[in-house]
Amino acid sequence: MILNLVVASLLSAILYVILKYFQIFKINNLQGLTFNYMTASSFAFFSNYEKNVDCFHQCESFLFYGLGIGLLFIFVFYTAALTAQHAGITATSIAGKMSMVIPILFGIWYFGDQLTPLRTIGIFTALAAVLLSTIKKRKVAEEAHHGKLILLLPLLLFIGSGMVDTTIKLSEHFIITPENQDLFLTYLFGSAGILGCLGSLYNRFAKK
């Protein structure tokens, strides 16, 4: 379990660094994220091809739900890219990781999870961390005349990431089974990729 947490934390940190490099290598954020989700969807499907084909009929049960989460995914990671590029990796990492507060609070309210003193301290510490990192960046940004953007991006990322984690938590309880897990991820990532494609095409033809 500890090893899994360490690996997950490292991959999360590397992700924000990669998003920062989008700016350095002049990669269009939406196009880069679209390619990311198409790749993830392909890996999820072909990693367990036979079982996914057998469970294909289950797509009906999460058709619109998965599409909604896919839209949320592409929006949140687009916000993460902007946050990493304009507010810095530190603020992005703090906002992304501390967003766990939102699914924890949802679990307490909806599933009746126990609110212990340690959890309470953790929740307030996380909120304080996001607020303080935002204020620090805001002071620097005001000198560059775009303080409002720097202030809003980490907060949007905090809320959006928390909503993503909450929807995944709900999916684990009501939709995902050991049989359809890879298929659900295939549809989820594929939806995000298709929405990203539509957004990229709109930018290409409507906005030239």
Structure-model confidence comparison of residues 106 and 147, the more confident one: 106
Instruction: Report, as an integer, the average pLDDT of 30-54.
Output: 94
Q: Please, which pLDDT band fits residue 18 given cuts at 50, 70 and 90?
A: very high
Nearest to 103 by CA among 159, 154, 165, 170: 165
pLDDT digits (tens, 9 = 90+) for 76-114: 999 999 988 888 887 888 888 888 888 888 888 888 888
Q: Which residues contact 47 (CB under 8 A, 6 or more apart)?
A: 182
Q: Where are the domains of the chain?
A: 2-205
Give the angle 20-23-29 at the CA atoms, nearest 5°: 90
- Looking up tokens 């949007």 gives 156
Q: What is the pTM of this model?
A: 0.84
Sign of CA dihedral 170, 173, 174, 177: positive
Q: Which pLDDT belongs to residue 37?
A: 96
pLDDT digits (tens, 9 = 90+) for 159-207: 999 999 999 989 988 888 888 999 999 999 999 999 999 999 998 888 7
Instruction: Report, as an integer, the average pLDDT of 125-146.
Output: 61
Structure-model confidence comparison of residues 53 and 100, the more confident one: 53
What gap in Å lies between CA 76 and CA 93, rounded to an integer? 13
State yes or no: pLDDT of 31 exceeds 90. Answer: yes
Q: Please, which pLDDT band fits residue 35 given cuts at 50, 70 and 90?
A: very high
Report CA Rg, the chain.
18
65, 189 Cβ separation under 8 angstroms: no
What gap in Å lies between CA 168 and CA 180, rounded to an integer? 14
